[in-house]
Amino acid sequence: MTADRENPVARTPYGAVGGRWEQGVAVFRGIPYAAPPFGPRRFRPPVPPEPWDGVRDAGAFGPTAPKPPYSEAFAQYLSDPTVPGDDCLNLNVWTPDPAPGARLPVFVWLHGGALTRGSSAVPVYDGRTFARDGVVFVSVNHRLGVEGYGLFPDAPANPGLRDQLAALHWVHEAVGAFGGDPDRITLGGQSAGAISTGALIAAPRARGLVRRAVLQSGPPETTDRDKVRRMVRRMANRLKVPATAEAFAAVDRGQLLRVQADIGRLGSPILGGPAFGIVTDGDLVPRDPLEALTDGAAPGVDLLAGWTRDEYRLWLVPGGLLDRVDRLGAVALAGAMARCRCGGEVPRGYRALRPDAGTSEIVGQMVTDHLLRAPLHRLADGRTESSYVYEFAWPSGRPRMGACHALELGFVFDSADEPDARRLAGEDAPRELAAAMHGAWVRFVSDGAPGWERWDERHPVRVFGDGEPHTAHGPRDRELALWAAAGTVTAAEGPVSGSAPELRSVVGRLRRGGALRRS
């Protein structure tokens, strides 16, 4: 890279790119790491981009993957910019030192959005603060929804995850030209980005590419193949085409997105439903990532993992689902029991631990523990030599949102007072909390030690936002012990036979009552 203060230039494996200096940081946006995934490449694994001559302008974010917009209820809390164009397999780089040989730590970020929404252009993901603090920050766009995670008989599975792997290979090969150290790459993400991170670090084909990993509010997991097939079949029925990649590729892209969004409204993080997700494929994902990681996959990879205290409130508050779950009472609780494949002893135990809680809190915490906290506990238990765990507990200034899913992002990026972060956090987010949390992430990315003790039999959890940052030992142990006492398997350990009819019955009652209209 040249250090021209007017226009920093770096040479990638496919050609030179020209970035911008912004607040003392060199920024390169919209760099292609693979060819546009359309035409004959639609639903296929990514291939390298065509090389170019001269210096390609990298001043603006590249196209985002096709995706439906958020509903009004969710859009008031979450932004999701759309950049038109086919060249959507691109990434961005923020670097403090645009000089080859600087050997700075690297943080590669995978966005959230349930694998159907989101992009690297979301303002809260601005990498300037990481670059300001000595980290080369890279954010990635990849295919989403049916384009990235549809399961077809005539196309390979997981093309969106394959995109991410291609981006990771690009970073490993090219980041030295931006001042990064290819031997000090941290891969991380939130929600769907964390799930993708878990799948990638467990993947044999990614071995040696990642030194550390950050999993925020998303465990290593795969989705049942039949669940994804049902989503594809329902779309095919609505479109009146065969459930094949060839047939879907012939459908107008806008119509495909509208049908995907409509079918997706029938699902819920609380009660499940049709959805897209990463599946085991015998190739990139040969087995369940959680099982692989607890069995010793990714040796030497340090882990930072955690959750927010009230994850469920982002799922329940927009659109009024929180109140409906409270009104439905026993019906909603039965739905949670079916979703979590447990008997009545588990919700009774939660009620005893939270005697003043409403049904929505009992349901929300049960599902969060089952789907997220229990698998992350299991992951840390299997990797005690290199795991750190946190909880984000600061309640949003927005009414009833609490310490909800995605709220911690503005603090991790030290941007909680920016307009995009205030959509979820409200006004007057504590600057000192953002500095503390961001500083811990910078330390972890830099040297693998965020500033508190590693996970062990005492279950140390660093709590951010409940007073001064402090370490609590086993703050979720009582709840998770209820599952063990009941002999209930976690979601990561596979389905329990016989739960599907009960779940369909409860979901039907909730749907007829309007409780699943969420996005």
Catalytic residues: 191, 311, 405
- Dist CA 512 CA 502 (whole Å): 16
- Dist CA 244 CA 43 (whole Å): 10
| Beta pairing, strands 20-22 & 15-18 | unpaired
Asked whether 297 and 202 are in contact (CB, 8 A), the reply is yes
3-state secondary structure 351-408: HHHCCCCCHHHHHHHHHHHHHHHHHHHHHHHHCCCCEEEEEECCCCCCCCCCCCCCCC
| Beta pairing, strands 9-12 & 15-18 | antiparallel
> Quick one: DSSP state of residue 272?
B
- Dist CA 45 CA 148 (whole Å): 10
**Other CB atoms within 10 Å distance of the CB of residue 425:** 30
Burial of 404 (0-12, 13-18, 19+ CB in 10 A): buried
- Of 396, 373, 401, 114, nearest to 268 (Cα)? 114
- Dist CA 133 CA 136 (whole Å): 9
Helix, strand, coil percentages (3-state) for the chain, rounded to 5, are: 40, 15, 45
- Dist CA 128 CA 11 (whole Å): 21
- Dist CA 219 CA 313 (whole Å): 18
* 487's tokens: 């002999």
Token look-up 């049709």 returns 274
- Dist CA 120 CA 133 (whole Å): 20
- Dist CA 65 CA 192 (whole Å): 15
| Beta pairing, strands 55-57 & 15-18 | parallel
To the nearest 10 degrees (0 to 180), the angle between helices 359-368 and 345-353 is 110
- Dist CA 112 CA 92 (whole Å): 16
Query: For 65-78, b where at least 16 C-beta lie within 10 A, e where not — what string?
Result: bbbbebeeebeebb
Beta sheet of 9-12, edge-to-edge order: 9-12, 15-18, 55-57
- Dist CA 368 CA 340 (whole Å): 10
